[in-house]
Amino acid sequence: MSTRNTILVVDDDTAHRTMLRTLVGGWGYEISEADDGDAAISSVRQRPYDLVLMDVRMLKVSGLEALAAIKSINPAIPVVIMTAYSSVETAVAALTQGAHDYLTKPLDFDKLRITLERAMEHSRLKAENRLLRERLGLQFDRRHIIGQSAAMVRLFDSVAQVAPSEATVLIAGESGTGKELIAGAIHFNSSRRDGPFVRLNCAAITETLLESELFGHEKGAFTGADRRREGRFFQADGGSLLLDEVSEMPLPMQVKLLRVLQEREFTRVGGDTVIRVDVRVIAATNKDLPELVSGGRFREDLYYRLNVVGLTLPALRERAEDIPLLALHFLEALALKNRKEVKGFTPQAMDRLILILGFSMIPLGALLGWSLIEQDTPVREAVATAVAGVITLVPEGLVLLVAVTYAVATLRMARRGALSRRLRRHPRQPVARLLLVRPGHHLAQGAEGMVVRRPRHRRRP
């Protein structure tokens, strides 16, 4: 079965239709033909096409009539209209009836190829976003962003207020707190919900390729650029673009991004054609951008341009009351995956889980790097070992991980003189109870009375 994109060429001029079949087929497309509008309608009924390239003036059934019928059969199929110079008004009328674009005769072959590529890309992105909404649509509903704590309620209210606007949003939060999920909620609850939602992780792209990823490139722009490629800004036209880990963007690229945010236009790498786009930018970071600005590693003007509306996602230590909800959420999913009927946690196991996952309440969680992404790890092991449908024990491996990480963090903080300050702020916090694997088994004997003093160094005489 062919995996090439299929194009239906509709024209009552046999010579012109044959020329298009040879030309467009040579670009790698699978070509079907129809000699009038009626034949085109029949063809669309019989099989799916990725695009229809159709003349507007034909003797039997005109292109406009065929366009209306094709759109009634398959509204998603892009239709590109061909028209003579004297028929531009007719072509504009076709656009209002749902045509994707129009080209004037005699055809500019370079423009024809670009138009076909853009139409295919636009159609693909719409299909992907439609599938994404079908598969993950509930995930972006407020009811499925898990949390009932005061911090999450405030976040929900902020998202509800900012989503309908066109403001650029900067989402800050530690790794794993759900920044991409919130960005998706903003997009899918905005007027751009039917447009593309495009993502780019700035930290995952090398500095040399980041400009091409953002703005695209022309054929021959650099070694290996064997064809024109559209960038993420072009792909996100009419929708939203999430720039994740924007703090990792090099300073030269920050200047170019700032210009796009100001002018809403850009040029491809190796090109000189100015391209205007309508894109809402949502940026996300796990770094302290004001601190990076102070250190000269992030442009201040770009920071203020991105931070029109700022959202800060709470870490788990700031919403410990949500731990039971999260645990039960992962429990349901993992129980289904493991084909086990698990009713829940015993009160003792839940208390234990809250104590461990809320370990950062000391607060040392920022050093542990524990996040929502990793929350299903202890629950996964507990589900696999559940007895009589009830989870009674928290896996020892989790406690050991927390204990070892805590020990490393303690040493680091002691070197900075930070631990004693934290202990003074939390004089009644029993450290050792967080490190118990089971009754009578201490990973840190005597830790409850532990006091770490800053090392004293002898001064040289």
Up-side HSE of residue 78: CA atoms within 13 Å toward CB? 22
**Each residue of 117-148: b (16+ CB within 10 Å) or e?**
bbbbebbebbeebeebbeeeeeebeeeebbbe
pTM as predicted: 0.56
Closest to 50 measured CA to CA, from 29, 33, 35: 29
- Sheet containing 51-55: give its strands across: 30-34, 6-10, 51-55, 79-84, 101-105
User: Distance between CA 376 and CA 382 in Å, rounded?
Assistant: 10
The token pair at 248 is 């990792």
Is the alpha carbon torsion for 79, 80, 85, 91 positive or negative?
Answer: positive
How do the pLDDT tens digits run along the chain, 461 residues long?
346 889 999 998 899 999 999 999 999 999 999 998 999 999 998 888 999 999 988 888 888 889 989 988 888 889 999 887 656 677 677 777 888 888 888 899 998 999 898 888 877 776 666 655 554 444 445 546 778 888 888 898 899 889 989 999 999 998 878 898 899 999 988 889 889 999 999 998 888 899 999 999 998 888 888 888 899 999 999 999 999 999 999 999 999 999 999 999 999 999 999 999 999 999 999 999 999 999 999 999 999 999 999 999 988 778 877 777 777 776 666 666 666 666 666 666 666 666 666 544 333 233 223 333 344 455 555 555 554 555 555 555 444 444 444 454 445 445 445 444 544 454 444 443 333 333 333 333 333 333 333 334 444 44
**Residues 76-86: tens digit of each pLDDT:** 889 999 887 65
User: Distance between CA 187 and CA 272 in Å, rounded?
Assistant: 31
Delineate the domains of the chain, giving CATH numbers in brackets. Answer: 6-124 (3.40.50.2300), 141-312 (3.40.50.300), 317-449 (no CATH)
**Residues 430-450: tens digit of each pLDDT:** 443 333 333 333 333 333 333
- Sheet containing 197-201: give its strands across: 197-201, 240-244, 280-285, 169-172, 309-312
Q: How far is CA 42 from CA 15, 50, 247, 273, 456, in A?
A: 22, 16, 54, 40, 89
